[in-house]
Amino acid sequence: MPILSLQHVTKDYFTDDQPVRALNNLSLEVSRGEFVVLVGRSGCGKSTLLSLAGAMDFPTSGTVLVDGVATTSLRDDALAKVRREKIGFIFQSFQLIHTLTVFENVELPLLLAGKKNARETARERLSWVELDELGRRYPHQLSGGQMQRVAIARALVQSPAVLLADEPTGNLDTSTGNLILELLQRLTRQQNTATIMATHSEEAAALADVVVKMRDGQVADLMRR
């Protein structure tokens, strides 16, 4: 059974009262342990797909199932619980909270879930990304690559079933970006997580199990390796 399933999903936005179709009757299924890369031009609907897959937004029509649960049927509290327990996010601009230390940033999803031993878990996840020595630093004391690794540790801290990454190497130089991609691929395998990554990077596409080419809100091509 796929951990994530988008069935005939359409998403419309309104700009100046004019509807803009971001996704058009799109269907996609992703299983645990798969590393899926979304490629396509800007505006083709990659980020919209990620926001729907991550229970951050609702489709205009169609169904999004996360671990068998339709997100459209859930109220805000339940939707937040899905995001907290099933989904991990990695953002292009890292999105760390600058008033919190590295430890505190990574602990955040655990505290939101009311989990105990947050510090130990955070330290373990930081060791996965080889940053457990920098736990007491603040984000502004880190390099771009280090910040993205903290973001990855935070995304994995709840051991999510689905890991969503929106252009995670977009703000990094090529060599750091490649290191991050390799890290993501390795952790996907180790944690048996379904990873969906939107990217313009050809290197990322080369590492993927599934490459989804998107055009005008639709899947133009799907290549499995």
Partner 1 sequence: MSRLLLFYRLIVRPVFREPVRTSLTVLAIALGVAVVLAIDLAGTAAAGSFRSSMETLAGENDLEIVTAGGVPETVVGTLNRLPYPLRVTPRIEDYAVVVENKQTLPLIGLDLVAERGEGKASFGFADADDAWKYLSAMGSVWVGESLGLKIGQSITLLVNDQVATYTVRGVFPDSKGNTSAIVMDISAAQYALKRFGRVDRILIQVPQSPTLEEWRRRLKQALPSGVQLRAAGAGTNENRRMLAAFRWNLQLLSYIALIMGAFLIYNTISVSVVRRRVEIGIVRALGASRHLVLAAFVGEAACLGFLGALIGMPLGRLMAGGAVQLMGATVEALYVSSRPGPIALTPVSIFLAMLVGVGVAVASAYSPAREASFVTPVEAMAPGRREYVTQVHKTRDVWIAVAVGLGAVAASRAPAIGGKPLFGYFAAFLLICASAFAMPALVYAIAGVASPLLKRVLGVEAVLASRSLSSSLRRTSVLVGALSTLRVRRKLSDQNMRLDGALNNMVQGLCMFDAQNRLLVWNERYRAMYNIEPSRIWRGCTIRDLLDARIAAGTFPLGGCCLARLIVQFRWVRVSFSSAPWA
Give the nearest distance from C-beta 224 to partner 1 in angstroms: 27
Q: Does 100 bind partner 1 (CB under 8 A)?
A: yes
Under rule CB under 8 A, how many of the chain's residues touch partner 1? 34
Q: Does 66 bind partner 1 (CB under 8 A)?
A: no
Shorter beta-carbon distance to partner 1: residue 83 or 149: 83
The answer to whether 158 and 85 are in contact (CB under 8 A) is yes
48-61 exposure pattern, b = at least 16 Cβ within 10 A, e = fewer: bbbbbbbbebebee
Of 20, 70, 80, 223, which one interacts with partner 1 (CB under 8 A)?
80
Of 29, 56, 134, 178, which one interacts with partner 1 (CB under 8 A)?
56
**Pairing assessment for the beta strands 194-198 and 35-39 based on DSSP bridges:** parallel
Q: Shortest CA distance to 124 belongs to which of 71, 187, 180?
A: 187
Task: Scan residues 34-53 and list those touching partner 1 (CB under 8 A).
Answer: 47, 50-51
Shorter beta-carbon distance to partner 1: residue 106 or 209: 106
Give the nearest distance from C-beta 146 to partner 1 in angstroms: 18
Structure tokens at 123: 């330290």
Q: Does 93 bind partner 1 (CB under 8 A)?
A: yes
Stretch that binds partner 1, among 59-67, 76-84, 133-141, 170-178 (CB under 8 A): 76-84
Give the nearest distance from C-beta 209 to partner 1 in angstroms: 24
Give the nearest distance from C-beta 51 to partner 1 in angstroms: 5
Q: Does 76 bind partner 1 (CB under 8 A)?
A: yes
Q: Does 202 bind partner 1 (CB under 8 A)?
A: no
Of 40, 45, 54, 168, which one interacts with partner 1 (CB under 8 A)?
54
**C-alpha–C-alpha distance, residues 110 and 118, integer Å:** 6
Interface ranges with partner 1 (CB under 8 A): 47, 50-51, 54, 56-57, 76-77, 80-81, 83-85, 89, 91-93, 95, 97, 99-100, 104, 108-116, 118, 154, 166
